[in-house]
Structure 1
Amino acid sequence: MNRKTFLQTSLGFLIGSQAFSKPKNKRKLCFNTLACPDWSLKEIFENAQKYGFKAIEIRGIKGDVDILNSPAFEPSKLSEIKRMSKDFDVKILNLNSSVVLHEYESEKRNKNLDIAKKYIDLAQELGCPFIRVFPDKFPKEKPKEFALDTIKSNYETLIDYCKGSKVKVLLDAHGDLVWSEDLLKMMQGFDKKHIGLIWDFFNMHLITKESPQKMYETLKNYIEIVQIKDGFFKSNNTYEYTLTGKGEAPIAEILSIIESEKYKGFISFEWEKRWHPELPNPEEALPKFVEFMKNSF
């Protein structure tokens, strides 16, 4: 074999091997700061970059669950936060508030809506595309339709407030609003410019026992963030969290569904260390999640 033939054969082999190699993993990974209640904001950015995450959902910093009261988010600190986000190449994807939309009594309702509006303003200032709100338990003294109408009315108030901004208000399936059809009815009729859903299969399935396919087919037009956690579903709607890949949540099926549908959003890891201090530390849980996501088909 002469040199020319060798080079042609080698080049053909190289091109062929590249054609059959596994495409580069393009999953966009995010984590919720519930995972790291002891980290400062700088540590969160540093470790997100270190472990391979491209975004964060902020649900508290250190002792402050409500970041509106956090020294880390004082108005004078916002330019520094934006600089850190850029320097570490880690996007602030979502500001997770504790705002609930099921309140119907005037004082409680207005208090929650006022807090949500401040989160919208903060997100706009930070260039963050989403804030999160949620329903909780429906009022026992009222029928279900009253609760759904109340949530929808309060949601509409926040959507109207978003007009002129680049912020979407995301509903996080929670409490009694976890059935796919109920969530779909909640979203229908609104301009999609300022609305969306966080799809948390684990939280929904715990109550509804719906399949990933049923949930996704029903809600896919509104899903902005796919949230992942793993564990075991136990009796009486209880659960036990595990490291990613160690439980029974059908994560591979969820990934297969969203990727077959060409989902382009973030996959966010919700590790509830803040609420469950007995869970393994973020230094273990976060890399395990990234490893699972990189190696699962």
Structure 2
Amino acid sequence: MHLGCVTYNVLKDLDLEGIIKLLETTGFEAVELRTEHKHGIEPTISAEERVKVKARFAQSKVRLVSYGTTCEFQSPDPAVRRKNIDLAKKWIELAHDTGAWAVKVRPNGLPAGVPTETTLRTIGESLREIGVYGEGYGVEIWMEVHGRDTQNPPNAAAILKAANHRNVGACWNSNPTDVVNGSVKQSFELLKPYLRSAHINELANADYPWRELFTLMKQANYDRYTLCECAESKDPERFLRYYRALWLELTR
């Protein structure tokens, strides 16, 4: 198991060079670049810029593990879904060109007036389409367990079951809804077959059973990344040093 960071939000005001240098200094191994942050790496960048991004990460100790997009597929309007699917495909092409492992997408709630089962199936079908597209580029699709109601683990698992594609998996999101009677075991077991990535947040939050989560991950032979997703800090280097120290304690 490895520690990385999402630019949302502790790194949001740093350019690419600043992100890499800070993560190298603080011992973080990977980064998920969130869209619309100062780093500016978006599907609109040129072929030349893509080459430079890939080369810069290759020269560093930090892996470009994924792109954090806001592509979502719960809308009952086919035109809206198509727009998001097409945008996700552009992110996949960017990931391929820059050497990223995956593109993170998300569900974002259940629209009113639509049966839950219909929405979950619709999201799953969209994920399958981009999963197939991503497979052609060697880029995985990670669905963040996100959104009101869609973040509930049974619903997230139902979406991934509907997607039914080997290139589509889950990004655990460390939500309060994971916790049942003080434990995340029940939720973890639901999503374990799909687990590809994990967002972790405030490790000092005693209401979330972090040590249990990391133990379950180790027992499942999870050897991928846990990505810090925390609020911005006035002193990000100091914050990340403390964060890594606490992560090392909780995962040992």
Normalising by structure 1, report the TM-score.
0.76
- Other-structure match for 2:145: 173
Question: Equivalents in 1 of 2:222, 2:200: separation in Å?
Answer: 15
User: How many residues align structurally?
Assistant: 249
Kept in 1: contact 2:6–2:31 (CA 8 A): yes
Structure 1 position 52 matched with structure 2 position 6:
no
Aligned to 1:99, the other structure's residue is in SS state coil
Give 1:152 deviation, angstroms: 1.4
Task: Extract unaligned runs of 5+ from structure 2.
Answer: none
Alignment CA distance shift 1:112-1:263 (3 Å): same
Give 1:44 deviation, angstroms: 0.5
- Other-structure match for 1:233: none
- For residue 48 of structure 2, what is the amino acid of its counterpart? S
- Other-structure match for 2:231: 272
Kept in 2: contact 1:30–1:56 (CA 8 A): yes
- Other-structure match for 2:213: 254
- Other-structure match for 2:248: 294
Alignment CA distance shift 1:45-1:203 (3 Å): farther
Give 1:141 deviation, angstroms: 1.9
Alignment CA distance shift 1:133-1:294 (3 Å): same
Structure 1 position 100 matched with structure 2 position 100:
no
Question: Equivalents in 1 of 2:150, 2:234: separation in Å?
Answer: 29
Alignment CA distance shift 1:189-1:110 (3 Å): closer
- Other-structure match for 1:154: 126
Give 1:122 deviation, angstroms: 0.8
Question: Equivalents in 1 of 2:182, 2:34: separation in Å?
Answer: 27
Question: Equivalents in 1 of 2:138, 2:62: separation in Å?
Answer: 19
Using CA pairs below 8 Å that are at least 6 residues apart, which structure has the higher relative contact order?
2
Question: Equivalents in 2 of 1:214, 1:280: separation in Å?
Answer: 37
Provide Cα deviations, 1:144-180, integer angstroms capped at 9, x if missing partner. Answer: 1121121112112212222322111111011121222
Kept in 2: contact 1:33–1:61 (CA 8 A): no
- For residue 209 of structure 2, what is the amino acid of its counterpart? P
Map residues 141-290 of structure 1 onto 2, 5 A cutoff: 141-175=113-147, 176-188=149-161, 190=163, 192-202=165-175, 204-205=177-178, 211-230=183-202, 244-245=203-204, 247-273=206-232, 280-290=234-244
Give 1:283 deviation, angstroms: 2.4
Give 1:260 deviation, angstroms: 2.4
Structure 1 position 30 matched with structure 2 position 11:
no
Structure 1 position 75 matched with structure 2 position 47:
yes
Normalising by structure 2, report the TM-score.
0.89
Kept in 1: contact 2:26–2:237 (CA 8 A): no
Question: Equivalents in 2 of 1:246, 1:106: separation in Å?
Answer: 40
Kept in 2: contact 1:37–1:63 (CA 8 A): yes
- For residue 240 of structure 2, what is the amino acid of its counterpart? L
Kept in 1: contact 2:35–2:70 (CA 8 A): no
Aligned to 1:257, the other structure's residue is in SS state helix
Give 1:67 deviation, angstroms: 2.3
Could you tell me the percent identity over the aligned residues?
A: 21
The 10-residue stretch of structure 1 (47-56 or 256-265) with the greater mean CA deviation from structure 2: 256-265
Q: Of 52, 56, 62, which residue of structure 2 is paired with 1:90?
A: 62
Kept in 2: contact 1:228–1:269 (CA 8 A): yes
- For residue 134 of structure 2, what is the amino acid of its counterpart? C
- For residue 163 of structure 1, what is the amino acid of its counterpart? E
- For residue 92 of structure 1, what is the amino acid of its counterpart? L
Alignment CA distance shift 1:80-1:122 (3 Å): same
Aligned to 1:131, the other structure's residue is in SS state strand
Kept in 2: contact 1:129–1:167 (CA 8 A): yes
Structure 1 runs of 4+ aligned residues shifted over 6 Å read none
Q: Of 65, 69, 90, which residue of structure 2 is paired with 1:118?
A: 90
Give 1:209 deviation, angstroms: 7.0
